[in-house]
Amino acid sequence: MYETINSPFTIGSVTLKNRIIFAPTSMGLKEEEYLEKLGAIARGGTAMIIIGDVPVLKSPFLSLYSRKGFLRYRRITETIHQNGALAAAQLHMSDSQFSRLIKYLPGMITGKIKPDELRILLNNTVSDYITGLTDKRISEIIRGFGKAAVLAKEAGFDVIQIHGDRMCGSFSSSIYNRRKDRYGGSPKNRARFACEAVAAVRRALPDITIDFKLAVRQENPHYGNAGILMEELPVFVPLLEQAGVNSFHVTLANHSDLSDTIPPASHPYFHGEGCFLSYCDEVRRLTDLPVCGVGRLCSPDFVEEQLKSGRIQLAAMSRQLIADPEWVKKTASGSVSKLFKCTGCNRECLGGMQAHKGVHCIRDHIQTKNKSLSHERKVVS
């Protein structure tokens, strides 16, 4: 049962022990709790954990370039490896200017600017930033992808994922990219930045497995502002493949409401299981490279069907593995009836992140409440 889910799969130079990946997730947890969460997901059988938003350049936040940051990432990879999974570093280059973030810090601290409001304010600055970047600065950033990849490998990461949203996605987007040079205008020119980022990693690490987070923007109805239009995929996908990509992680483009890219069960459009898999269908038509699907994947029966049919080769989950880190083990052992299925409520995961409480699951809240009630009953008796 669930033979495809639990079968090994090779991407580039690495072999995953099964087809399930933990999607990059901003946890917002204290270090020890974060490591404990990663360890539990790895022990639960997940083949690979993608660590999101690893900075491409030196950063005021923890990055691979500082000793403290490097040691933190090494500790993360060691935790993942010790618990039986592979680790991927999602190389991330922000398309928000740090100077703008500093400007909004007082409002964030006082609570006058909410996280969703900050997101809108920063997204409104993206177009001017991307369009105004100098060739010199672009070259520095491209070289940074190669340097960061080398450091990531030294820190113990097995796979490099290029974050195809954020700066790569903004360069790709006709909404944000208004450049008139070789990086703007036609889809081929708008693909240049992302392709050069991939090529920089490939030059620095010829044998490393490179996954590309392919952010798809759609119209009718409109969702996402960065990323690649569906009708532009026939231009972008072959160019990225030629640049050195080994696989594609396909999802909805960002730069809109987080409840679109992390859709609740009540979402007006992306409410069903496998809500982004239609994008995978188009990518599958354009390449023979492995395609990883994502988007409210919860049911073992559904996931097995998508994998077995060849619609996707890998399945990425975030909220479901936060809800039940042993999802993979339970499918392998025939204990599916014991699965705790993500309900898509977004209360303690996305809600916890937005409230700066960290990402948890409503299941944790229920268990804590039940333990408290049990303790109260014992005290009363």
- Catalytic (active-site) positions: 166
Neighbours of 301 (CB within 10 A): 10
Instruction: Report how far apart, in Å, the C-alpha atoms of 20 and of each of 248, 310, 316, 380 are.
Output: 14, 15, 6, 45
Buried b (16+ CB within 10 A) or exposed e, 220-252: eeebbbbbbbeebbebbbebbbebbbbbbbbbb
Residue whose structure tokens are 């960290």 = 358
Residues 287 and 238 sit within 8 Å (Cβ to Cβ): yes
Q: Is 78 strand, coil or helix?
A: helix
Q: Is 104 strand, coil or helix?
A: helix
For CA atoms 363, 367, 369, 373, give the dihedral sign: positive
**Strand pairing class (9-11; 14-16):** antiparallel
Residue whose structure tokens are 């079968």 = 7
Burial bucket for residue 37 (CB in 10 Å: 0-12, 13-18, 19+): buried
Residues 316 and 23 sit within 8 Å (Cβ to Cβ): yes
- Token couple for 268: 């007006």
Q: Any idea what the Cα angle at residue 62 is, between residues 61 and 67, rounded to 5°?
A: 135
- C-alpha to C-alpha distance for 276 and 162, rounded to whole angstroms: 19
Q: Is 56 strand, coil or helix?
A: coil
- C-alpha to C-alpha distance for 112 and 133, rounded to whole angstroms: 31
- Phi–psi pair at 137, nearest 5 degrees: -65, -40
